[in-house]
Amino acid sequence: MTQFLHNFACFDCQISFKRPATKDSSSGSAHLAESELVHTCPNCRHKMAFMGRNFSTPSKSDNSGWIAAQALWEAGFRFSGSGSHSDPPLPRTKQEVGEFIKLNPKHYQKIAPNEKWSDYI
Ligand SMILES: [Zn+2]
């Protein structure tokens, strides 16, 4: 059986894993705002943020990439969907991310409500 996996991240530990998001993980939407299943960080036990199917994990040394990923997630962006839309790609640096969020309130990948990582438990 092929599993339909999504990316889950811990911004404190700067790690991410692929995990199922739904009980029946053999199928499912690629354009999901939040996971049905809860996964906790194996390192710090924080509830892991649901990033979506297409999140590519920044490297350990890429602090800017992690800041961008957290800011996008908190603003309701998910790395999801088919990619066949005309909206600009999600930024990967902290220099770009603030402006990007301001300029793209109706972005195709902004599908979740705003969230605060520190309150996400
Ligand atoms: Zn953690």
CA of 18 to the centre of ligand 1 (A): 15
Token pair 């998001």 is at which residue? 21
CA of 29 to the centre of ligand 1 (A): 26
- Average confidence (pLDDT) over 75-94: 89
Residue 110 backbone class (left: φ over 0; alpha: ψ -120 to 50; beta: rest) = beta
CA of 56 to the centre of ligand 1 (A): 17
Domain of 31 in residue numbering reads as 5-119
Token pair 């195709």 is at which residue? 108
And the tokens for 85? Answer: 């839309």
Total structural domains within the chain: 1
Q: In terms of DSSP H, where are the helices of the chain?
A: 63-74, 94-103
Residue 83 has pLDDT above 70, yes or no: no
CA of 10 to the centre of ligand 1 (A): 5
Give ion ligand 1 contacts, CB < 5 A: 10, 12-13, 41, 43-44, 46
CA of 12 to the centre of ligand 1 (A): 5
CA of 49 to the centre of ligand 1 (A): 10
6-40 per-position pLDDT tens digit: 999 999 999 999 999 988 766 666 688 999 999 99
What pLDDT score was predicted for residue 102? 98
Q: Read off the pTM.
A: 0.92
